[in-house]
């Protein structure tokens, strides 16, 4: 079974530039997550999709971050304009909903490491 695919693996940009990350979840996984992981910290949820609808984007800095999941499959996360503090690893994860409000097992991609200079 193919895992969660992410690209690019690494990206270096200057502040105020824009960047986009792509994620393709495991086939059949309706739930897709984007996490931001700053060095030495645990992942922080940015946005969660259920199919192509947003479940939670309460911690997404909407003035500069946007995400979409058209057709309920792959997803893109965009940052525009980037700030120095956006330097982090952006992890995509997917899960198969178990029902009854239970969050299924999360499968993570390898992450996209962003460096903002």
Q: Which of 13, 26, 30, 45 binds other proteins (CB under 8 A)?
A: 45
Q: Which of residues 2-41 bind other proteins (CB under 8 A)?
A: 4, 40-41
Residue with smaller CB distance to other proteins, 35 or 65: 35
Determine how β-strand 112-116 pairs with β-strand 10-13: parallel
Determine how β-strand 88-95 pairs with β-strand 107-108: antiparallel
Please measure the distance between the N-terminal and C-terminal CA atoms of the chain and give it in whole angstroms: 37
Count of positions on this chain that bind other proteins (CB under 8 A): 22
Residue with smaller CB distance to other proteins, 17 or 52: 52
- Beta-bridge mates of residue 53: 50
Residue with smaller CB distance to other proteins, 28 or 101: 101
């Amino acid at each position: 079974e193919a895992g969660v695919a992410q690209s690019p693996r690494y990206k270096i940009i200057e502040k105020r530039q824009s960047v986009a990350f792509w994620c393709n979840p495991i086939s059949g996984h309706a739930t897709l997550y984007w996490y931001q992981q700053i060095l030495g910290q645990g992942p922080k949820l940015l946005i969660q999709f259920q199919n192509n609808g947003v479940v939670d984007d309460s911690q997404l800095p909407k003035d500069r971050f946007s995400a979409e999941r058209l057709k309920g499959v792959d997803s893109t996360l965009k940052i525009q304009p980037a700030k120095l503090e956006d330097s982090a690893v952006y992890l995509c994860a997917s899960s198969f909903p178990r029902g009854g409000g239970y969050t299924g097992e999360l499968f993570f991609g390898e992450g996209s490491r962003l460096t903002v200079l």
